[in-house]
Amino acid sequence: MADALATLHLDPGLVSKVQFRAFSLAEPDLGLPVSDVFAEPCTYWHSAALITFFPRREDELRAVNVEGSDNVRATFSRHSSPGSRYIHVSTAYQCGTAEGKTMEGWPEYARPAAFRNDYEHSKRTAEIQLSRTRLARDGDVLVTRLGIMVGHSGTGRALSDLGIYDFLRVIAMFARRTPGERVRFVCHPNATLHLTPIDGTVDRLLALADGPFDRPVRHLVNRVAVPVADLFAVISAHLPIELVAVTAADVAAEPFGRFEAIVNMRCKYTSPYLRFEYDFECHDDASPPPVTPRVLDLLISWYVREGLPA
């Protein structure tokens, strides 16, 4: 906690004011001393989730992200003091593979096949369940859909190995073993990534939590996303490998070589996000600062220098 406060340029001494409580998403009332936790009006942030893109984890994802989320909501509804606020942290990629603009609004049901992975489907299902509750009807809930979380925009530092960092770790492993190779990835011609630095995201989250819940669903994504070609260029500048965005037709005309095929196979859980064009409705009050070329270079260079396994 002290490290997180320092990373966000806050006083690490504030950690002395933080109270910690162990809890379980599966236990009645989360296993919390509810009389203490909810003694006063509070803002409850539900950010606990299981994040995995691997197959055959449907039951675990449902237990944590759907049933666990409903248990959190029920506990809050039963015990919170008047004036309390409930914030559910979700993902912008609950949109699945749907084309067109994803609006800020309660989602509709979609079959599991409409998603890239079971994680996305579980997050959509959790939002649907929340939309049917009294909290939603009374306007006492806010759903914040995050983009691809990355490190600090001022230092590049990150404490995560998910998302873009998982991709970077795989690429670095192959680049160091066989330097100088060229690797193509199938990408949408207009593919962009909504990279969202932690510091700007925290600022927006806190501002939204203090504001009106007049729009119950908000996308915390940058209005200007990072083109995949720009991301590949920065990675190629910091690692001994050349990443190239191509179309499916390009690969059909010139099939992957053995090395390219192996790298693509190892990236098969994150590379599907390169094959879509995303368009999220967003507003100024929820849009973190954009990831500029300088910030992008800082994020990649820090992880290559400090974050990769030895």
Per-domain residue ranges for the chain?
2-146, 153-193+226-278+289-307
Q: CA of 26: how far to CAs of 11, 112, 262, in Å?
A: 34, 24, 39
pLDDT in tens, 72-124: 999 999 999 999 999 999 999 999 999 899 999 999 999 999 999 999 999 99
Q: Give the least confident one: 49-58, 87-96, 238-247.
A: 49-58
Which pLDDT score, from 0 to 100, does residue 160 have?
A: 84
C-alpha closest to that of 136 among 208, 87, 80:
87
pLDDT in tens, 191-221: 999 999 999 999 999 999 999 999 999 999 9
Which pLDDT score, from 0 to 100, does residue 10 have?
A: 79
Nearest-angstrom CA–CA distance, 301 and 310: 15
CATH class of 2-146: alpha beta
C-alpha closest to that of 199 among 152, 157, 239:
152
SS3 24: coil
| pLDDT reading at 4 higher than 90 | no
What average pLDDT does range 51-68 have in this prediction? 94
**Contact (CB, 8 A) for 67 and 50:** no
C-alpha closest to that of 39 among 86, 83, 80, 75:
80
Assessment of whether the complete model's pTM goes beyond 0.75: yes
Nearest-angstrom CA–CA distance, 156 and 307: 10
